[in-house]
Structure 1
Amino acid sequence: MNAIFKCFRWALPLLLVISTPALAHTGEGITGGFMSGFLHPLAGLDHVTAMVAVGILGAFLGRPAIWVLPVVFPLVMAFGGVIGVMGIPMPYIETGIALSSVVLGLFIVLALKMPLWFAAIIVGAFAIFHGYAHGAELPTAANPLAYSVGFVISTGLLHIAGIGIGELIRWPAGVIIARAIGGIIALAGVGFLTGAL
């Protein structure tokens, strides 16, 4: 455990210096269709880290979490998106998004074993923030349906990437790598958090 924290001690000051507000949520709206939706999650490091973390956490918790968590996230994210489209006010969106990387990353670093229902609630709660941010941008899209399809596919691929990383835990060295990536995700979340506050 100490070795993991020592590896990332140098990264925190660097992340604090280069931190910016969450990148996937400019507040300027979106345009285009499928490709715009597909590329949007990949352009925001805050979204990438959270999606990958969900996949890694699912792999760490084992079956059925390995597929339940990556299904829960987009389903609840859609609900958050509807709230955003409706324009219902919701405070601390960027803070919630940043905290998703911090908390999920720490769960991975610490290799916490938790009941599936608890993990699903945590993942779902963070999904609302991610969905809301994108839903609030959605009404300005030229083709909201095509955009949404591209967005969901891209998000699913990020979950699969996380599951692939999480599957490294089958080997002793892989556990260290997966937990180290969790540490990077948590530190990135601290950077996002400083930009959001």
Structure 2
Amino acid sequence: MKSAIKSGLLALAAAALPAVAYAHTGIGQTSGFMHGFSHPVSGLDHILAMVMVGVFASQLGGRAAWPVPTTFILVMALGGGLGMAGVNVPFVEIGIALSVIILGAIVALGVKAPTAVAMGVVGLFAIFHGHAHGMEMPEDAGGAAYAAGFMMATAFLHAAGLGLGFLIARIGERQGSFAVRTAGGVAAVAGVGILTGMI
């Protein structure tokens, strides 16, 4: 498991390096990439949901650790494409807030869902997050560079959630489980605040 986690994180970092370097050269779709990269990390709702996806995947463990976050990223890209194309998706803001509440609650309750079900749940919420990213793309940003940016930022947030989940679990089964579930509970409460406009 340790080698798989290290390999995954190294692969993610290696994949990120060329795009990050490209984003700072001053040529091509630099502003598009940077706008895309900054969007997922600019809102509490996006950060919480994406980190919770990673924590949820770490709780499921085993084979679910990578397919669950990967599903979110791929379906989010589809949702982003819909947003860029101006295709309407109803209840996007509500869907995003509900994603924080439900994913936080799943983590807090320690739900052990089958991998396929977990992929379906995160995939549903990914459509809303992706659509929001796509709709908020600046007019001067290149679509492909912008999408690469928000997908990479999302991957990093998922990796942070996975790392957090695995790290907390190493504290000890009892204390680690309590810490992870507390984090999920805090996220769910924050999601309620986002949904009601209090946050």
Which TM-score applies when normalising by structure 2? 0.78
Query: 2: distance between equivalents of 1:71 and 1:181?
Result: 22
How far 1:32 moved relative to its partner?
2.7
Instruction: State the partner residue of 1:75.
Output: 74
Query: 2: distance between equivalents of 1:33 and 1:166?
Result: 32
3-state SS in 2 of match to 1:42: coil
8 Å Cα contact 1:46-1:101 kept in structure 2? yes
Query: 1: distance between equivalents of 2:88 and 2:187?
Result: 28
Query: 1: distance between equivalents of 2:33 and 2:81?
Result: 19
Query: 1: distance between equivalents of 2:140 and 2:93?
Result: 21
5+ residue gaps, structure 1, are 1-30
Query: 1: distance between equivalents of 2:61 and 2:45?
Result: 25
Matched, 1:162 2:161: yes
Q: Which has the higher contact order (CA 8 A, sep 6+)?
A: 1
Query: 2: distance between equivalents of 1:96 and 1:106?
Result: 15
Query: 2: distance between equivalents of 1:88 and 1:36?
Result: 21
3-state SS in 1 of match to 2:62: coil
Instruction: State the partner residue of 1:34.
Output: 33
2:164 maps to amino acid = I
How far 1:80 moved relative to its partner?
0.8
Instruction: State the partner residue of 2:24.
Output: none
Instruction: State the partner residue of 2:94.
Output: 95
Instruction: State the partner residue of 1:86.
Output: 85
Query: 2: distance between equivalents of 1:100 and 1:141?
Result: 30
1:169 maps to amino acid = A
3-state SS in 2 of match to 1:72: helix
8 Å Cα contact 2:84-2:143 kept in structure 1? no
How far 1:139 moved relative to its partner?
6.0
5+ residue gaps, structure 2, are 1-29
Query: 1: distance between equivalents of 2:98 and 2:46?
Result: 11
How far 1:142 moved relative to its partner?
2.5
User: In angstroms, what is the RMSD of aligned CA positions?
Assistant: 1.7
Instruction: State the partner residue of 1:51.
Output: 50
Instruction: State the partner residue of 2:191.
Output: 189
Give the total of aligned pairs.
166
1:46 maps to amino acid = D
How far 1:114 moved relative to its partner?
1.1
